[in-house]
Amino acid sequence: MKLACFGAGRIGGVHARNAAAHRDVILAALVDPIDTPQRAALAEQTGAKISAAEDVFADDSIDGIIIASSTNSHAGLLEQAAASGKAVFCEKPISLDFGLTAVVVDKVEASGIPCMMGFQRRYDASFLAARQRIDSGISGPIEQLSMWSRDPSPPPRSYLETSGGMFRDSTIHDADMLRFFLREEIASVYAVGASLISPDIGAAGDIDSLMVTVTTVSGRQGQITACRRGPMGYDQRLEALCANEVLTIGNQPQSMLSVACPTGGLQSPPENYFIERFTQAYRDEMAAFVAMIRDGIPPHAGIRDGYEAQRLVEAAIVSARTGQPIQYGKDWRP
Amino acid sequence: MKLACFGAGRIGGVHARNAAAHRDVILAALVDPIDTPQRAALAEQTGAKISAAEDVFADDSIDGIIIASSTNSHAGLLEQAAASGKAVFCEKPISLDFGLTAVVVDKVEASGIPCMMGFQRRYDASFLAARQRIDSGISGPIEQLSMWSRDPSPPPRSYLETSGGMFRDSTIHDADMLRFFLREEIASVYAVGASLISPDIGAAGDIDSLMVTVTTVSGRQGQITACRRGPMGYDQRLEALCANEVLTIGNQPQSMLSVACPTGGLQSPPENYFIERFTQAYRDEMAAFVAMIRDGIPPHAGIRDGYEAQRLVEAAIVSARTGQPIQYGKDWRP
Amino acid sequence: MKLACFGAGRIGGVHARNAAAHRDVILAALVDPIDTPQRAALAEQTGAKISAAEDVFADDSIDGIIIASSTNSHAGLLEQAAASGKAVFCEKPISLDFGLTAVVVDKVEASGIPCMMGFQRRYDASFLAARQRIDSGISGPIEQLSMWSRDPSPPPRSYLETSGGMFRDSTIHDADMLRFFLREEIASVYAVGASLISPDIGAAGDIDSLMVTVTTVSGRQGQITACRRGPMGYDQRLEALCANEVLTIGNQPQSMLSVACPTGGLQSPPENYFIERFTQAYRDEMAAFVAMIRDGIPPHAGIRDGYEAQRLVEAAIVSARTGQPIQYGKDWRP
Amino acid sequence: MKLACFGAGRIGGVHARNAAAHRDVILAALVDPIDTPQRAALAEQTGAKISAAEDVFADDSIDGIIIASSTNSHAGLLEQAAASGKAVFCEKPISLDFGLTAVVVDKVEASGIPCMMGFQRRYDASFLAARQRIDSGISGPIEQLSMWSRDPSPPPRSYLETSGGMFRDSTIHDADMLRFFLREEIASVYAVGASLISPDIGAAGDIDSLMVTVTTVSGRQGQITACRRGPMGYDQRLEALCANEVLTIGNQPQSMLSVACPTGGLQSPPENYFIERFTQAYRDEMAAFVAMIRDGIPPHAGIRDGYEAQRLVEAAIVSARTGQPIQYGKDWRP
């Protein structure tokens, strides 16, 4: 199977290397308009040819594309993939413009191309084990879901400016997890946000600390607590109160070494950041992309999940701005 | 020092025994209108004389009273204590009728009697250690506070009927903890609640599962997740994201024994319920009552804290009922 | 029931206070030849009368005595108790002279007085829960037992001089635990010891770091690792590999507060030392003494257990001195 | 760089795949005398040519060989590698015949070929982090070292018959860790062993449960507890009491999911077995082999370490057989 990767940055590098290392994949092309040493190195490591986008879409031997380029290119690439009938793996978000997201999702679905969203947490062993345990029936239904999502430190100002804001950039992953675990129509969304940790973020009109509360139509409750800074490092936890038991996903320590000294016992800190924390999840996600193309196995997250996660954060944005809860439902639009 | 205890039920028994065991205290009187074997046994264990309320208030040798009787008697006893100049230790809540609470609190303050509220979590070693660590400055200010409060199983229907509902009966403790840790004026209160676990509770018009989100005037955020049932047992945890570190208070295991078997490692479950979990906190709280009377040392929770915690849950009740966040502040009243 | 306590030092204070606080006990007498402020305070707190030993033994109203005085007085007091028919609670060891221990134990047993040894770990909730779980059959038989026993810091030189050495003074508790858990005749004992942490200890001819290995007649294995200094604080752990599962007893933290910071997660250190760690065990032990006298309930540790634990450490001492394992068995004597 | 791999079994598969996946390596040859589907699949996955041993040694373009074939072939292959000047990565043990081991090690050293032993634990992140922390000086010197080594379940009888016994087959890894951490001449070795868990093992004259105690010339103490069965799964832990702190290496859980239910909190079990537990260590070990060949970087474990670990287990074997401790030292030979 031949794949092409758009984007030679940090996340592009992860996906390109995982694709190239997959037994059944040839990474045929790497597309990135900017000629950097990083692009050259990635091409060499993966054996991919540095290519132009139009050549990729024109090449019938390429089965699928990986969209890991800058956010503002996602929508256009999705449309071209739909037009040329290529399978797509797309990093979130589809577009910072929700209207455009809606249009593109419709086009992709109409085209019938297999399309998978890059919500890698759905492929993480711990999150997946929780999902499967609930699916087995042993836990009983979730009644209250709590999630934490904290980066080790705030992103640089340059990143913030094109990020679309904390909700769209970061909380979209947590919104996806809410949907992945609650699996019921959401009735209300309430969010608060503030800039507490970084004058830069506040000056840019963005927030860095937020809480979101949702309810489902049957009254079940979900909660996200997120911050652009986690003093204990990268913090990605979840706790699901189910009828029969409570499931907890903790952070993954860097090693199993702990140290006990007079002031207490020191555990190893969590894996630094998403690249380290989700190393295996990214591999498994790429394998799922291959399996989707080759065997038609549905991925854990399709294009519609990308749309719905984004719709949910748009509601949170409106709530945080107006101070009012959103009466959500199937048909709410920002 | 001579004390009298009102109430020979579960919590009355705890306070009476702790008072009687205190080196400097004679528990002179036990007041409970109902003649039960439990009352007789408690009198015998503590050496207290079963007495009438009027005799207690008329007895000048009695320095202070412990109010651990049924909720609807609290306000009246507080007023009598104020009138007779006796120090008071009062279990929450002051009254289920917030208007009456306000009146009584004013009277108590006007009387100048020393008065302490029974928020025992403020005397627990773990919660206190967290408070002290933050006070030391090492942690930096709290930015996001999360709390869990879950009982092992729902109370019986008879209890529910006079409880005032889950917010007033149970969440008042968590509201007090929000205040104890945030120590800043609260700007907004939003709550959702549902009856998810018990048809009895729903039929009684009460809820059993709730989430509360508050913000302070500077934008800091607090959250309570509570349920009348905790499948892992009694669940009282707190997590404070501070600028420099994250403080976590876990549940207290019944023992330090854990068992590793092919399905994983099994930790000892948490202490059964509040009586077991807060055994030492109740002792320390009674010692603080003695120290307040004898040495004038201010308690961790005074009558005004009882009023403010109750005002906060009243706001949560209104929010949960209307679906709207409350614009809180110093002057909000239900 | 009337009891008398011999010894007003640290451990005497613990037992005297627990006895006095017991509902069914009057602590009638406190015996300590040295007039210290500590003795006076303890007498006042417990209501005990400072008495002479001969008056205690002559007083028929006194049902039992607590021997918590200096080690060299234990044997004589046991003999007097046997002669006067009083029940005894005796702190370890019976005598630093094993020959004398053997003689005294025979006399006590011949007298028929109820006698209990102060091995408080047998009354600790965690150690007891492990013992009971194994007794229930769920764990299967123990195959390999590991224990750690570390003090927070070495004792002062003055203490060392009359302690009988680390094996007799400290490891006797671990030897008792080996017997409590293995419950099978011990076939071999091998020990190594060194002075690694304190020149004082080495100069006194004692050791501060030791390991003991025992086998039972059926080949099961036990191990003790002990040190006079524990850099993580007071360290009392046990791990039992059983046929079906592994039981682990961890240290008891001072609080449930943990702190996560950039260098990792910091757990609360263990309880400082045996007084704090075994507070409840000492209470339960005293209650067992009362139950033994009043109801004839056999204690977890009798005088013969005191003898056998001491015999085991004598074997370890010989092994550590000679470098050879001891062929142990029922009849081995030092 | 071109490498050849001897052995297409379980561990041969791990090394062959890691070598083939290394950016700088071409796995040119796979040597295994038995034509199995496993051999064919491994050749296909790695791109290696199924070859004869003599062709590998005759091929000057092959830089190094990986010895992961059956134990009885190791010595001969090491000699051929020494003769042909090829670098070697060798799985333990060198030979079950210690005399032959000594001869071969001398030959390899005389030849000057770079040679590395497959003690993968030296490359594990947790064990390495402990080693580095001690090296940094922060921990202070190790005084007491405890290690556990337990397989999830006993090996099949067929494996046992050619394994050389539990000490040589399995405990050699722990012996290497004792040396890796203690880094001082060992003065005494004492071991006990029994067949407790498997009649098959006893019938084969082997043991399945053992404890080893060593002392160093300065009196420091080390201990191994090992069993062919671990009811909690694969158990590889270490605890080092150092002068300033205690280092603990725990087992690596399969996921970060834990479950709290009425009977307690259930942690995820450890990784199944060495292949899963040391996945990354095996990768890093192969990278170290490449770095040794290419850049002359000394590996964490050389051929002399293989010899010394084996010498230590030979002493343990003699001790367990005779019941006597071994006066060890530089010159002890079995």
Mind listing the pLDDT tens digit of every residue in chain D (334 residues)? 999 999 999 999 999 999 998 888 999 999 999 999 999 999 999 999 999 999 999 999 999 999 999 999 999 999 999 999 999 999 999 999 999 999 999 999 999 999 999 999 999 999 999 999 999 999 999 999 999 999 999 998 888 888 999 999 999 999 999 999 999 999 999 999 999 998 889 998 999 999 999 999 999 999 999 999 998 889 999 999 999 999 999 999 999 999 988 888 888 889 989 999 999 999 999 999 999 999 999 999 999 999 999 999 999 999 999 999 999 999 999 9
B136 to each of B133, B141, C331, how far by Cα in Å? 5, 11, 60
* Cβ contact C244–D231 (<8 Å): yes
Q: Are strands A115-117 and A87-90 parallel, antiparallel or unpaired?
A: parallel
> Which tokens sit at B228?
């009348």
Q: How far is A268 from chain D (nearest CA, A)?
A: 10
pLDDT of C298 strictly over 90: yes
* Cβ contact D261–A246 (<8 Å): yes
Q: C30 - beta bridge partners? A: C5, C50
| pLDDT at residue number D161 | 85
Q: Are strands D246-249 and B235-242 parallel, antiparallel or unpaired?
A: unpaired
* Among candidate residues C164, C172, C181, C112, the one with its CA nearest the CA of residue C308: C172
pLDDT classification of C266: cutoffs 50, 70, 90: confident
Contacts for C56-59: CB closer than 8 Å, 24+ residues apart: C56/C4, C56/C6, C56/C29, C56/C31, C57/C81, C57/C83, C57/C84, C57/C86, C58/C84, C59/C2, C59/C4, C59/C28, C59/C29
| pLDDT at residue number D15 | 98
CB-nearest to D232 from B232, B233, B260 is: B260
Which strand (E) or helix (H) includes residue A201?
Answer: helix A199-203
- Sequence-ordered list of residues with C-beta below 8 angstroms from that of B106, at least 6 positions apart, any chain: none
HSE (side-chain half, CA atoms, 13 Å) at B90: 35
- Sequence-ordered list of residues with C-beta below 8 angstroms from that of D261, at least 6 positions apart, any chain: A244, A245, A246, B231, B232
Q: What percent of chain C has pLDDT over 70?
A: 100
* Chain centre to alpha carbon of residue D298: 17
Closest chain A residue to C259 measured between Cα atoms? Answer: A232
| pLDDT at residue number B147 | 97
Q: Are strands A64-67 and A2-6 parallel, antiparallel or unpaired?
A: parallel
| pLDDT at residue number B236 | 96
- Sequence-ordered list of residues with C-beta below 8 angstroms from that of D4, at least 6 positions apart, any chain: D27, D28, D29, D30, D31, D48, D51, D56, D59, D62, D64, D65, D66
Closest chain C residue to D194 measured between Cα atoms? Answer: C219
pLDDT of B162 strictly over 90: no
Instruction: Give the N- to C-terminal CA distance of chain C in Å, as an integer.
Output: 40
- Cβ atoms of B13 and B38 closer than 8 Å: yes
* Cβ contact B245–C261 (<8 Å): yes
Distance CA(A90)–CA(A102), nearest Å, equals: 15
**DSSP secondary structure, D200-263, as one string:** HHHHTT--SEEEEEEEETTS-EEEEEEES--TTSSEEEEEEEESS-EEEE-PPBS-SEEEEETT
pLDDT classification of A62: cutoffs 50, 70, 90: very high
Task: Dump pLDDT digits (tens) for A6-48.
Answer: 999 999 999 999 999 888 899 999 999 999 999 999 999 999 9
Q: CA torsion D308→D311→D315→D318, rounded to 10°?
A: 170
- Taking only residues 292 to 331 of chain C, the set having a beta carbon closer than 8 angstroms to any beta carbon of chain D reads 323-325
Q: Does D215 touch chain A (CB under 8 A)?
A: no
- Taking only residues 153 to 192 of chain A, the set having a beta carbon closer than 8 angstroms to any beta carbon of chain B reads 188, 190, 192
For residue D213, the chain C residues in CB contact (below 8 A) are 190, 192, 211, 213
**Element counts in chain C: helices (H) and strands (E):** 13, 15
For range B75-82, the mean pLDDT: 98
> Which tokens sit at B20?
């009687």
Q: Does D72 touch chain C (CB under 8 A)?
A: no
* CATH (residue range D2-113): 3.40.50.720
**CB neighbours (10 Å) of residue A205?**
9
| DSSP category for residue B67 | E
Q: Do domains D2-113 and D121-327 have the same CATH topology?
A: no
* Among candidate residues B231, B254, D233, the one with its CA nearest the CA of residue C250: B254
Top-tier CATH class for B121-284+298-327 = alpha beta
Distance CA(C194)–CA(D219), nearest Å, equals: 6
* pTM for the structure as a whole: 0.93
| pLDDT at residue number A31 | 98
| pLDDT at residue number A272 | 87
pLDDT classification of A157: cutoffs 50, 70, 90: confident
pLDDT classification of C267: cutoffs 50, 70, 90: confident
What is residue C142's three-state secondary structure?
strand
Q: How far is A226 from chain C (nearest CA, A)?
A: 16
- Against chain D, the chains showing at least 3 CB pairs within 8 Å are A, B, C
**DSSP secondary structure, B198-218, as one string:** -HHHHHTT--SEEEEEEEETT
Closest chain C residue to B247 measured between Cα atoms? Answer: C259
Q: How far is B122 from chain A (nearest CA, A)?
A: 23
> Which tokens sit at A319?
């709530």
- Cβ atoms of D14 and D282 closer than 8 Å: yes
Q: What are phi and psi of B331, to 5 degrees?
A: -105, 0
Residue in A259, A261, A266, A271 to test binding to D, most D beta-carbons within 10 Å: A259
| pLDDT at residue number A160 | 87
Distance CA(B31)–CA(B58), nearest Å, equals: 14
| pLDDT at residue number A266 | 84
Listed by start position, the domains of chain D span: 2-113, 121-327
- Cβ atoms of A270 and A151 closer than 8 Å: no
| pLDDT at residue number A137 | 96
> Which tokens sit at A27?
């990474």
For residue A257, the chain D residues in CB contact (below 8 A) are 126, 129-130, 133, 247-249
Distance CA(C117)–CA(C44), nearest Å, equals: 27
Closest chain A residue to D134 measured between Cα atoms? Answer: A259
For range C309-333, the mean pLDDT: 97
- Burial of residue A266 (number of CB atoms within 10 Å: 0-12, 13-18, 19+): buried
- Sequence-ordered list of residues with C-beta below 8 angstroms from that of C41, at least 6 positions apart, any chain: none
Q: How far is C34 from chain D (nearest CA, A)?
A: 38
pLDDT classification of A162: cutoffs 50, 70, 90: confident
For residue D239, the chain A residues in CB contact (below 8 A) are none
* Cβ contact A225–B146 (<8 Å): yes
Q: Does A269 touch chain C (CB under 8 A)?
A: yes
Token match 């911050």: residue? Answer: A227
B311 to each of A307, B224, B238, B327, C276, how far by Cα in Å? 41, 16, 22, 13, 40
Q: Does D44 touch chain A (CB under 8 A)?
A: no
Q: What percent of chain B has pLDDT over 70?
A: 100
- What is the CATH architecture assignment of A121-277+302-327? 2-Layer Sandwich (3.30)
* CATH (residue range D121-327): 3.30.360.10
| pLDDT at residue number A51 | 97
**DSSP secondary structure, A131-151, as one string:** HHHHHTTSS--EEEEEEEEE-
Distance CA(D185)–CA(D181), nearest Å, equals: 12
> Which tokens sit at C243?
């046929």
Task: Dump pLDDT digits (tens) for C17-55.
Answer: 999 989 899 999 999 999 999 999 999 999 999 999 999
* Cβ contact C245–B252 (<8 Å): no
Task: Dump pLDDT digits (tens) for C96-117.
Answer: 999 999 999 999 999 999 999 9
Which strand (E) or helix (H) includes residue B50?
Answer: strand B49-50
* Cβ contact A223–B225 (<8 Å): yes
- Cβ atoms of D320 and D210 closer than 8 Å: yes
* Among candidate residues A30, A245, A45, the one with its CA nearest the CA of residue A144: A245
| pLDDT at residue number B218 | 97
For residue D259, the chain A residues in CB contact (below 8 A) are 133, 139, 245-248
pLDDT classification of C264: cutoffs 50, 70, 90: confident
Task: Dump pLDDT digits (tens) for B236-283.
Answer: 999 999 999 999 999 999 999 999 888 888 888 899 899 999 999 999
- Against chain B, the chains showing at least 3 CB pairs within 8 Å are A, C, D
* Cβ contact C133–B246 (<8 Å): no
Residue in B153, B171, B190, B324 to test binding to A, most A beta-carbons within 10 Å: B190
Distance CA(D156)–CA(D143), nearest Å, equals: 38
* Cβ contact D246–A252 (<8 Å): no
Task: Dump pLDDT digits (tens) for A238-285.
Answer: 999 999 999 999 999 999 999 988 888 888 889 989 999 999 999 999
* Cβ contact A130–D257 (<8 Å): yes
Distance CA(A76)–CA(A87), nearest Å, equals: 14
Task: List the Cα angle C164/C167/C170 in 5-degree steps.
Answer: 90
Lowest mean pLDDT among A280-294, B102-116, C147-161, C215-229: C147-161
Four-way CATH pick for C121-291+302-327: 2.40.10.220, 3.30.360.10, 3.10.50.40, 2.30.30.30: 3.30.360.10
For residue D246, the chain C residues in CB contact (below 8 A) are 230-232, 235
- Sequence-ordered list of residues with C-beta below 8 angstroms from that of C165, at least 6 positions apart, any chain: C206, C207, C317
Q: What percent of chain C has pLDDT over 90?
A: 89
| DSSP category for residue C121 | G
- Sequence-ordered list of residues with C-beta below 8 angstroms from that of C116, at least 6 positions apart, any chain: C87, C88, C89, C90, C288, C289, C292, C299, C301, C302, C303
Distance CA(A147)–CA(A235), nearest Å, equals: 10
Q: Does B243 touch chain C (CB under 8 A)?
A: no
For residue C251, the chain B residues in CB contact (below 8 A) are 256
Token match 């503590």: residue? Answer: B46
